[in-house]
Amino acid sequence: LPEYKVVMLGSGGVGKSMLTTKFINGNFSEDYDPTIEDSYRKQCTVDNISCVLDVLDTAGQEEYIGLRDYQIRSGDCFVLVYSIQSRETLDEAEAIAEKIFQTKNTHEVPIVLVGNKSDCEDKRKVSQQDGRRVAKGIGSGFYETSAKTGQNVEDVFIQCVRRIKHF
Ligand code: GTP
Ligand code: MG
C-alpha cells in the first residue's frame, strides 16, 4: 500500500495530540501532556483507494521545537493546527506555513489548516472567516474541528490524502 507521512504542527496546547489520537483510536483526554514527538500509523480508504497514513505528532512547546526542520523535510502533508480561542496560534500557524514553503522550496505543498476546539464557542476569539482568509492566503484546505466531540476530525485526514494525490 502507498504510505503517506502527515505531520501535525502548531502552537503548544492547541490540540494536535488530541486530534491525532481521536483519529487514530477515538481517544480524547482532558489532561494536557506536552508532546516531544510521537508517531502513529493507520490504514484508511479514501475514494476507494487504500493507503497507510503515518502521522507524526510534534511538539508545540518552545523547548521542543528544535526538530521542526527535519520534520518538515520528512512530511508529505501538513496539518497546521490553531485554537479558535487564540489569535496568536493562528498567526503562528501562518508563520509555520511560510517556514514549510521555504524548507520545501515551493508553495505547492499539501496543507490543511485546522481551527480546533470548535466545541468552545463561548471562548471563541478567532472567527471562522479569519481562519478561511489565512487558509486562502497559504493555499490550504480548511476545517474547524473539535477533538473532543470528533467534529470534522476524520475529514481533515481524508482531505490530506486528497491533497497529496492532487500535488
Ligand atoms: P503540545 O503537545 O504541547 O504541542 O500540545 P497539543 O497541541 O498536542 O495539545 P493537546 O492535544 O495535548 O491538548 C491540549 C489541551 O487542550 C488538553 O487539555 C486537551 O484536553 C485540550 N483539547 C484539545 N483539543 C480540544 C478540543 O477540541 N476541545 C476542547 N474543549 N479541548 C481540547
Ligand atoms: Mg501534543
32 lines ligand 1 (CB under 6 A): yes
How far, in Å, is the centroid of ligand 1 from the Cα of 121? 15
How far, in Å, is the centroid of ligand 1 from the Cα of 10? 11
How many residues are given for the chain? 167
Ligand 1 atom closest to 81 (CA)? 7
* Span 138-152, pLDDT tens digits: 999 999 999 999 999
Rounded Cα distance, 132 and 129, in Å: 5
Atom 22, ligand 1: residue with shortest CA distance: 15
ipTM above 0.95, yes or no: yes
Ligand 1 atom closest to 14 (CA)? 7
How far are the Cα atoms of 31, 47, 52, 115, 164 from residue 82, in angstroms, in the given order?
18, 28, 25, 5, 21
Residue 144 · residue 152 · CB < 8 Å: yes
Q: pTM of the prediction?
A: 0.98
Helix locations, the chain, DSSP H: 16-25, 68-74, 87-104, 128-138, 153-166
Instruction: For residue 16, name the pLDDT band (cuts at 50, 70, 90).
Output: very high
The mean per-residue pLDDT over the stretch 108-130 comes to 98
In the chain, % of residues over pLDDT 70: 100
pLDDT of residue 81: 98
* Span 39-91, pLDDT tens digits: 999 999 999 999 999 999 999 998 877 778 999 999 999 999 999 999 999 99
Residue with cell 500535488: 167
How far, in Å, is the centroid of ligand 1 from the Cα of 106? 30
